[in-house]
Amino acid sequence: VSDAPIVQFSNCRILRDHQLQREDLWVREGKILNPEKLFFDEKGSADVQLDCKDSIIAPGFIDVQINGGFGVDFSLATDDFKSGIDLVSQKILSHGVTSFCPTLVTSPPSVYHQVLPQISVRNGGAHGAGILGAHLEGPFISKEKKGAHPEHCLRTFEAGAFQDLLATYGSLDCVQIVTLAPEMKRSSEVIQELTKRGICVSLGHSVANLSQAEEAVQHGATFITHLFNAMLPFHHRDPGIVGLLTSDKIPAGRRVFYGMISDGIHTNPAALRIAHRAHPKGLVLVTDAMAGMGLAPGRHTLGQQVVEIDGLNTYIAGTKTLSGSVATMDTCVRHFQEATGCSVETALEAASLHPAQLLGIEHKKGTLNYGSDADFLMLNDSLYVQATYIAGEEVWRQDVSGM
């Protein structure tokens, strides 16, 4: 039995088993405790009691697609890349993000070779949100649906397809997600090889039809990168990748997840509602935030491109091509709840439970189950973050004096 201090969070509503429940939350050594075991087996009690003043306590948000923020671009190989990633991981604590996948857009091989060795999987703490591994979005994507990705860096799979991918990225050591276009020749073998290594394969920036998308899922793909964006629009005779949400060709026991940028710009609220109603358990909120998030309007970068921020709109400079977002995760959660009229529980799980299930880490993140990591948020009824905790320690709190 550990003699580490036990903290009891009381006067709160905890999100557990898809419901807000009026219970206390007990934490010791960074994990969530089962109070019954504590009382009956250890005859223990709390060392510290915290009054949560009727806050909602929810699992910390997990952002599986974030390209940067606060002037830092994860797709730029700089000498101080590490301090850049540290800055972003620190700043997103105030948005309720407790772990994330730094995302690289299509880049030349030299960028992957320089940047990927500087990304390491690590736990969160007072220094910032935890890093779950990189999300490599491209360069194996479709020219027609490249979005904000630079065309001259796009690649196809040659004869030794997987070796080709390895040579491009240099290493897969810290890679958690790869987004590719499944209609590309030889993509099936690549999907199988990545899946075998425990890497999540996401379909995106693609002109795939539904049967190509279904084949990719049968080979192991489990995610769709920013649904509706950079893919063929839904068509009733061939719904394309969007059709995966209601496909009957998904292997038994498997779930397809899909990312949505719920910022009010990338997806019309009606489209958000259609997706959510069709497949609520697969929806994963992502910010797709770029370097300009948290900065003033003007010119910023996204990998090899120059982008312009105008309000919440971000375009490739001189065009009307959307390029990532400047939305924060807590804003996306609130917008999603407002647009769909879903329950508070559903909105919170789309940013916590679902991304954890996608990455296969739901036994330790994304829930407040006993034994899980004590990464959680205190929120008010309007879903504004009041405080962020990682491993049971407060890492950010709203400054009430200035409000």
Q: What is the pLDDT of residue 403?
A: 45
Q: Sign of the C-alpha dihedral, residues 72, 75, 79, 84?
A: positive
Please check if 270 is assigned to a binding site.
no
- DSSP-derived pairing of the beta strands 6-16 and 25-28: antiparallel
Residue 128 is classified by DSSP as: B
Q: How many CB atoms lie within 10 A of CB 402?
A: 5
Contact 379, 96 (CB under 8 A): yes
Token pair, residue 16, equals 């557990």
Q: Which position among 63, 263, 288, 330 bears the catalytic label?
A: 288
Please check if 187 is assigned to a binding site.
no
- For 14-30, b/e burial (b = at least 16 CB within 10 A) is bbbeeebeeebbbbbeb
Q: What is the DSSP string of 220-238?
A: T--EESSTTTTBPPP-SS-
Q: How far apart are CA 20 and CA 62, in angstroms?
A: 19
Q: Which residues contact 15 (CB under 8 A, 6 or more apart)?
A: 21, 56, 57, 58, 59, 345, 348, 349, 368
Q: How far apart are CA 341 and CA 345, in angstroms?
A: 11
Per residue in 263-308, pLDDT (tens digit) is 999 999 999 999 999 999 999 999 999 999 999 899 999 999 999 9
Please check if 268 is assigned to a binding site.
no
Please check if 148 is assigned to a binding site.
yes
Please check if 209 is assigned to a binding site.
no
Q: What angle do CA 263, 130, 259 make, to 5 degrees?
A: 30
Please check if 335 is assigned to a binding site.
no
Q: What angle do CA 95, 350, 268 make, to 5 degrees?
A: 90
Q: Which residues of the chain have pLDDT under 50?
A: 403
Please check if 262 is assigned to a binding site.
no
Contact 96, 329 (CB under 8 A): yes
Give rounded-to-5 percent helix, strand, coil for the chain: 25, 30, 45
Q: What angle do CA 212, 169, 288 make, to 5 degrees?
A: 65
Residue 140 is classified by DSSP as: S
- Domains defined along the chain, listed by start: 6-58+367-397 (2.30.40.10), 60-359 (3.20.20.140)
Q: How would you class 125 by CB atoms within 10 Å of its CB: exposed for 0-12, middle for 13-18, buried for 19 or more?
A: middle
Q: What is the pTM of this model?
A: 0.97
Is 381 a known active-site residue?
A: no
Report phi then psi at 39, rounded to 5: -70, -50
Nearest Cα neighbor of 290 from 7, 88, 86, 131 is: 88
Contact 262, 295 (CB under 8 A): no
